[in-house]
Structure 1
Amino acid sequence: MRIAIASDHAAFDLKARLVETLQSWGHEVLDLGPADDGRVDYPDFGYKLAEAVGDGRAERGVALCGSGIGISIAVNRHPACRCALVSDPYAAALAREHNDANVLAMGARLIGPDMAAACLQTFLVAEFAGGRHAGRVDKLSAPSLEKSA
């Protein structure tokens, strides 16, 4: 699978570890930066990641920042992305199974590298359950919130 990954400076070290982990699992990794741990703005890298997933350069994405909150908000601004912020493997499984999430977000200051790898592994193997969840996921892509009422 081709997986895009991006972070801010606070999550640079975790990103580097997860790039190595993904490669060791046999995945192709599109590392969208940053290239070092110098201060950067998470929206810039969240938008890059969202574009890569949205235009099909990557099948899934991994978004990282200090808390995971800011970058997940940035990614979710793209209509093709469903980014879920998780901190445990069960939440990662539900993000895929119930929400068809295509981007996983995690906070480097809130999760250790082993737990982050466990979340990522679960996220990559879990599949969307469809069924009763499909209609709900379709509403996430609706152009107006009025359609969900």
Structure 2
Amino acid sequence: MPATNRIALSSDHAAIQLRQAIAGHVVAQGWIAVDIGPTTPESTHYPQHGEAAARLVASGDCRFGIILCGTGQGIMMAANKVRGIRCGVCADPFSARMIRQHNDANMLSIGVRVVGEGLALDIVDAFLTARFEGGRHATRVGMIEALEV
């Protein structure tokens, strides 16, 4: 399957249920969910899960990544350490749309302790339906990419 239809999904132990709900939601829209877990509630380390999903996106295996932890912050920080990843934490659909339109974000992070399932699905929809606007924003994304070491 082409990477353009694939979304990497990962979370820590706190967000398994919401991650699985998001997986079902995106599959119903025609995406292929590459859910890399975890699947059991034992405590896990969010940096490992953020990195694993980010590597799938950075390699081109997946077009987008959606990652979750308690606040969305820690897992997002880990994902952004992977070259080529632009991930933002969003708690509202407007921000999710804007990180795609203005920042060409390829990953979305959500905090399970911040938003409920209904809002999370709206955030995912806003992210996945928005398109990068290019223009002056492309210049700025290029500046962000130039910071990668």
Q: What is the TM-score with the length of structure 2 in the denominator?
A: 0.94
- State the percentage of identical aligned residues: 39
- 1:58-73 matches, within 5 Å, as 58-73=62-77
The CA distance in 1 between the partners of 2:23 and 2:148, in whole Å, is 36
The unaligned stretches of length 5 or more in structure 1 are: none
How much is the aligned-residue C-alpha RMSD, in angstroms?
A: 1.1
**2:97 alignment partner in structure 1:** 93
Aligned partner of residue 146 in structure 2, secondary structure:
coil
Contact 2:69–2:111 under 8 Å retained in 1:
yes
- Give yes or no for the alignment of 1:49 onto 2:53: yes
Match of 1:132 among 124, 136, 146: 136
**2:38 alignment partner in structure 1:** 34
**1:102 alignment partner in structure 2:** 106
The CA distance in 2 between the partners of 1:144 and 1:98, in whole Å, is 18
- Give yes or no for the alignment of 1:82 onto 2:116: no
Runs of 4+ with >6 A deviation: none
Aligned partner of residue 101 in structure 1, secondary structure:
coil
Cα deviation code 1:65-109 (max 9, x no counterpart): 000000000000011100010001000010000000000000000
The CA distance in 2 between the partners of 1:44 and 1:32, in whole Å, is 11
The offset of 1:54, in angstroms, is 0.5
Aligned partner of residue 71 in structure 2, secondary structure:
coil
Greater mean deviation of Cα atoms: 135-144 or 35-44: 135-144
**2:145 alignment partner in structure 1:** 141
AA matched with 1:39? S
Contact 2:83–2:148 under 8 Å retained in 1:
no
The unaligned stretches of length 5 or more in structure 2 are: none
